[in-house]
């Protein structure tokens, strides 16, 4: 859930900065996108460090398959226990 929160926060910052630069100042689309990207990165890196670290840990846990491995082990254990009972 924290991964989604962090992603939405970064997208809101990006599109907010993009809209402010594009509609407010009337700059080129590519220039606005590049500056908005740098701004969103910098703001989330400086002010939302704890959320970033937590989201990174959650994502690493999901990618390493911690929960999936645990579930597979449990299914294998139940299967082995069922075979032993027979």
40: which residues sit within 8 A by CB, 6+ positions away?
A: 10, 11, 13, 14, 17
In contact, 55 and 6? CB cutoff 8 Å: yes
- Indicate the pTM of the whole model: 0.67
Distance CA 73, CA 57 (A): 22
- Per-residue model confidence (pLDDT) at position 39: 95
In whole angstroms, what is the distance from residue 72 CA to residue 55 CA? 24
Question: How many percent of the chain have pLDDT more than 70?
Answer: 90
Q: Are 16 and 37 in contact (CB under 8 A)?
A: no
Between 45 and 66, name the one with better pLDDT.
45
pLDDT-derived band at 67, boundaries 50, 70, 90: low
Q: What mean pLDDT value characterizes the chain?
A: 86
Query: Above pLDDT 90, what percent of the chain?
Result: 47
CA 3 – CA 25 distance, rounded (Å): 32
Range of the domain at 28: 2-85
Question: What is the domain count for the chain?
Answer: 1
Give yes or no for a contact between 2 and 58, defined as CB atoms under 8 angstroms apart: yes
């Amino acid at each position: 859930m924290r991964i989604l929160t962090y992603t939405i926060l970064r997208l809101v910052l990006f599109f907010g900065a993009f809209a402010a630069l594009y509609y407010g100042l009337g700059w080129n689309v590519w220039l606005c996108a590049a500056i908005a990207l740098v701004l969103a990165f910098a703001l989330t890196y400086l002010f939302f460090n704890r959320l970033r670290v937590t989201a990174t840990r959650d994502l690493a846990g999901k990618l390493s398959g911690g929960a999936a491995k645990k579930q597979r082990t449990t299914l294998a254990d139940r299967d082995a226990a069922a075979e032993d009972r027979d």
